[in-house]
Amino acid sequence: MAEDIEEKIRKLRELGRAPIQRETKPTKPILPAEPQRKISKIGTLREKERKKRVLIGAFVVIVIILIASFGVYTFIQRQQLKKLEAAKQAKIAEVNAYFKGELANDSVKIELIKRIESAKSIEELNNINVKAAYEKRLAEIQKQKELEEQKKALEELNKLKSQQIVVITQAFDQLLSQPLPEDIRTEAINTLNELKQRVNEAKTQEEVLSVDPTPYLTTLWRRYYFYLIDSIPTQRVILRKNGEAHIYTKLEAKQVLGKITDYRELMKYTVEKVELVKMALVVKRENVVGAFLSSGDKIKIYARNQTTGKYFEIADEGYLDLILLPTSVGQISLSESQGEGSSISSSSSTSYTTSQSTSYNVGEESLSNSQSSTDQYSTTQSSSETSNAYYNYNVNLAEVLKAIAAGKINAPEEVKEQLSKYGWKVLDLEKDTRMLVVDPSTEVLVIFEVPSDFVPKILEYKDAIYIVKIETG
């Protein structure tokens, strides 16, 4: 722009010198000098005056031309400045149209506006490619976002890896804190290290989360429980879960644990040795299968909640030892009578009466024998004789047992053999004849074996116990 102005000023100066040059007289060929004439002073003054007027006129013309040129220049400049300003505003509007939203205060936008405002010509403005700058900036921002996202994703991935390793380690720590045999412990440590390596080598979050320790821990925990089961010397074990205990054979216990597919469920179990204890309870006959049980029968024990009236299991397995019938069942009563009579008639009558009674007691057992006889004679020769015998037996088997123990009874071994079958014969006769002899509400003494864990519950509900038989086969 400055060069254009200088060029125009130079042209105006040349135009200002043009009249003076036109007044310059053409060079004439040099002729031989004529004899100089004497110039008068008046002519000289006139000549000077004329030249002076010429110079003044030329100066005035030059000034007018300069003023006119400056006016023209100023007008042109104003027009060009208006066009330049309009072009700048259009260019800034273009910048604002592209750089908006998150780019409204972008540094590239600010730099473009500064370049536009400092532009000196339209050509310089045209050289500013706003669209190209916008697209370049978009590419830079997109690349920067991608780098930031990659960095953030990498940070999240590393954070997830750390969290997953902590989760896996904590899960294995629960297993490794147990008294494991050496082979299971070695395998557990090797598996833990392999899973950690897989996590560290993962490239995505999905790969990290796919490293699941559950199947490995389930297998290791199951092996540990099988080891505990095999370590128990008895043939039966107790599996306890959430406070509830169940008795199984070793094979049954392994089958129960083998069906579990999550180690967290396995961890709810404990394996314990079965310690059977004998205990006795007095229960009603109707609460113990009518007392129709045999020694060695497998039983379960239930109780009735007195508040809700609901029944629930308190011992899932036990073994019957024996059932004792009450003394009222051992009370035997027997009566027997016998009589003889004869008569003779006579004229006179004489009467004789004789009676005899004998009683024996063994403990609380009593045996009695009574006899009476009457003889009558009359003068009419009529007489009669009557003889009657009555036998009453009242035997209490409990007292008989006491007598046997005290050696106060004859043939104790024979009596003992007979009594040994009395109890079950009474119950067998009930089943065979389908006639109830012993009242269902009769209390019987039941002796049985149960794991020691069940004893507190049994004692807590001893007045509401129901014993059932487990049918096998």
Residue 21 pLDDT greater than 60, yes or no: no
* Average pLDDT of the segment spanning 444-463: 89
* pLDDT score, position 448: 92
User: Judging by beta carbons within 10 Å of its beta carbon (0-12, 13-18, 19+), is residue 441 exposed, middle or buried?
Assistant: exposed
Residue 287 · residue 314 · CB < 8 Å? no
Residue 332 · residue 365 · CB < 8 Å? no
Helices (runs of H) and strands (runs of E) counted in the chain = 14, 10
- Per-residue pLDDT reduced to its tens digit, 138-166: 888 889 888 988 898 889 889 999 999 99
Residue 377 burial (CB count, 10 A) = 17
* Average pLDDT of the segment spanning 11-16: 62
Q: What is the rounded average pLDDT for all residues in the chain?
A: 77
The 8 Å CB, 24+ separation contacts for 162-165 are: 164/199, 164/208, 164/209, 164/211, 165/196, 165/199, 165/200
* pLDDT score, position 410: 67
Element of type H or E holding 259: none
* Average pLDDT of the segment spanning 271-276: 88
Q: How confident is the model at residue 404 (pLDDT cuts 50, 70, 90)?
A: low
* Average pLDDT of the segment spanning 354-359: 48
* pLDDT score, position 335: 46
Q: How confident is the model at residue 290 (pLDDT cuts 50, 70, 90)?
A: confident
Range with the largest mean pLDDT of 27-36, 93-102, 118-127, 278-287: 278-287
* Average pLDDT of the segment spanning 290-297: 80
Residue 330 pLDDT greater than 80, yes or no: no
Q: What single string gives the DSSP state of each residue in 97-120? A: HHS-GGGTT-HHHHHHHHHHHT--
Q: What single string gives the DSSP state of each residue in 304-372? A: E-TTT--EEEEEEEEEEEEEE--GGGGEEEEEEEEEEEEEEEEEEEEEEEEEEEEEEEETTEEEEEEEE
Measured CA to CA, the distance from residue 346 to residue 380 in angstroms comes to 3
* pLDDT score, position 199: 93
Place of tokens 């500013």: 128
Q: How confident is the model at residue 459 (pLDDT cuts 50, 70, 90)?
A: very high
* pLDDT score, position 385: 58
Instruction: Determine what percent of the chain is predicted with pLDDT higher than 70.
Output: 67
Instruction: Kindly report the backbone phi and psi dihedral angles of residue 2, in degrees, each rounded to the nearest multiple of 5, phi listed first.
Output: -65, -35
How far, CA to CA in Å, does 337 sit from each of 134, 225, 371?
Answer: 135, 75, 11
Residue 32 pLDDT greater than 70, yes or no: no
* pLDDT score, position 223: 95
* pLDDT score, position 75: 74
Higher pLDDT, 347 or 417: 417
* pLDDT score, position 363: 39
User: In sequence order, what are the residues at sequence separation of 6 or more whose Cβ sits closer than 8 angstroms to the Cβ of residue 371?
Assistant: 355, 356, 357, 387, 388, 389
Range from 205-209, 309-313, 362-366 carrying the lowest mean pLDDT: 362-366
* Average pLDDT of the segment spanning 248-269: 93
Residue 466 pLDDT greater than 80, yes or no: yes
Residue 346 pLDDT greater than 50, yes or no: no
Residue 298 pLDDT greater than 70, yes or no: yes
* Average pLDDT of the segment spanning 344-359: 49
Place of tokens 């129709």: 292
Please give the single-letter amino acid code of residue 2: A
pTM over 0.85: no
* pLDDT score, position 229: 95
* pLDDT score, position 364: 44
* pLDDT score, position 172: 94
* Average pLDDT of the segment spanning 271-292: 86
